[in-house]
Amino acid sequence: MSRKYFGTDGVRGKVGDFPINPSFAMKLGWAAGTVLASTGTKEVIIGKDTRISGYMLETAMQAGFSAAGINCALVGPMPTPAIAYLTSTFRADAGVVISASHNPYYDNGIKLFSNSGTKLTDAQELEIEFLLDQAIYHNAMTCVDSAKLGKLRRISDAAGRYIEFCKGTFDKDKSLTGLKIVVDSANGAAYHIAKEVYAELGAEVISINDKPDGLNINERCGATHLDSLQTAVMVHEADLGIALDGDADRVLFVDHNGHAVDGDEILFILAQAAQAKGELQGGVVGTLMSNLGLELALKEMDIPFVRAKVGDRYVVEQLKQTGWQLGGEGSGHILSLKHTTTGDGVVASLQVLEAVIESGKSLADVKSVMTKLPQVLINVRLNANNADEIIAAESVKQSVLAAEAFMGERGRVLLRKSGTEPLIRVMVESTCAEMTQTQAQSIADAVKLASS
């Protein structure tokens, strides 16, 4: 059974439009609270990123939870993985993150975590969606007796607790002393967290894009826009740069030459380091979008590699099925179940820094062992929410078949809808850069024509 409201990363959309409005948020709080209360839930932790709409949605969610008899603990702007950690450490029964991750400020979203710090199961989300429909279309939202209404409290030391957790994942016998690091927090949830973590571990830190105003989150900065970080690394002659996204669940690097280091390369660096220490448990989980170069490089090292569906929740599922610990996506969602239950940009960055220090080499040298194949990703924005219909269009299917026939065994095509935005992602990968670009553009043009 397909889900109606929950995408690959919770509920997401443009603020003011259904479903990201106060009415829906309140009903979602009530529906989630009702489902969670049936399993004994008493309190949820609510965090958010730095979008101006976070205040509105936070208040609405709180009202819905209270109506279901659930207490709320507010932590303010905090990274998504911090909420997963705090939910567990505070012994809360569930966690809520109000964020649209890497999207612009005018979007927002709502993600729910279980008491173990993992995302809710599909079954739980379907049960919540059933109650949501009852509340939205049948006015079936109820309220517990006044004496049983949920209460509110604020947790003032949440940031400090999370900073100490992050530092605790770094080898206590090592430090970042001697490293000059530029940190780009994307004017997002880690603006007051990331720079403190690296500085307290000994690094010289230059912090950029750390002054959120509610509107500038992800605006030409962070993990989705590396230009400002690349410039800063070169200007400050830094050893490397670290870019987080708006909710700090993904991370990318820039080496001392100003070259980007993506999630596939990060996975390789971590796998290589873990294998060298005899600490790699099993293999590595990537996704259908992972660069073939990663798979080939891991194969050279006799490290197993499997692909999951796109989305960190599916990477986690595959890791649990295999019993492995390391996985992620090219976009920078890195899962290290040895340290965290969900993608954590700050923690992943510390593991990369540890690997670089242990190697005695620069980040550029460490990543150079892996050779990426030319890969082109084109995002085609849609005017309507009809991605499935467009992907199934005969003209689009024929363009994909033509590209596959032309490339043969030299390349591959992946066409998929975004789980968070009205987009169709066209990915083409092959042994030839020019062929990759030409075939990707041809398919993208067919998608645009079918959507017009």
pLDDT at 41 over 80: no
Strand order in the sheet with 284-287: 305-308, 284-287, 326-328, 334-336
* 1 band by pLDDT with thresholds 50, 70 and 90: low
From CA 382, how far away is CA 330, in angstroms rounded? 23
| 69 conformational bin, left if phi > 0, alpha if psi -120 to 50, beta if neither | left
What's the mean per-residue pLDDT of the chain? 94
Residue 311, pLDDT score: 84
- Residue 147, both tokens: 């004496």
Cis status of the peptide bond prior to 19, with omega within 30 of 0: yes
Query: What average pLDDT does the segment 45-52 reach?
Result: 98
Residue entry with tokens 């967290």: 193
pTM of the model: 0.90
Give 317-364 pLDDT, tens digit per residue. 999 999 999 999 999 999 999 999 889 999 999 999 999 999 999 999
pLDDT at 64 over 80: yes
The closest of 347, 342, 420 to 95, measured between CA atoms, is 342
| 268 conformational bin, left if phi > 0, alpha if psi -120 to 50, beta if neither | alpha
Give 213-255 pLDDT, tens digit per residue. 999 999 999 999 999 999 999 999 999 999 999 999 999 999 9
Residue 86, pLDDT score: 93
Residues paired with 287 in a beta bridge: 308
pLDDT at 2 over 70: no
The closest of 11, 41, 28 to 108, measured between CA atoms, is 11
SS3 assignment, position 315: helix
Give 249-274 pLDDT, tens digit per residue. 999 999 999 999 999 999 999 999 99
Question: Catalytic positions, please?
Answer: 101
From CA 232, how far away is CA 207, in angstroms rounded? 10
From CA 319, how far away is CA 284, in angstroms rounded? 8
pLDDT at 388 over 70: yes
The closest of 16, 238, 3 to 105, measured between CA atoms, is 16
Longest dimension (CA), the chain: 69
Strand order in the sheet with 180-184: 204-208, 180-184, 240-244, 251-255, 260-261
Give 165-210 pLDDT, tens digit per residue. 999 999 999 999 999 999 999 999 999 999 999 999 999 999 999 9
Q: Which helix (DSSP H) or strand (DSSP E) does residue 419 occupy? A: none
From CA 423, how far away is CA 408, in angstroms rounded? 27
Give 263-306 pLDDT, tens digit per residue. 999 999 999 999 999 999 999 999 999 998 999 899 999 999 99
Question: DSSP letters along 15-47, please?
Answer: TTSTTSSHHHHHHHHHHHHHHHHTTT--EEEEE
Q: Give yes or no for a contact between 150 and 93, defined as CB atoms under 8 angstroms apart.
A: no
295-301-306 Cα angle (round to 5): 35
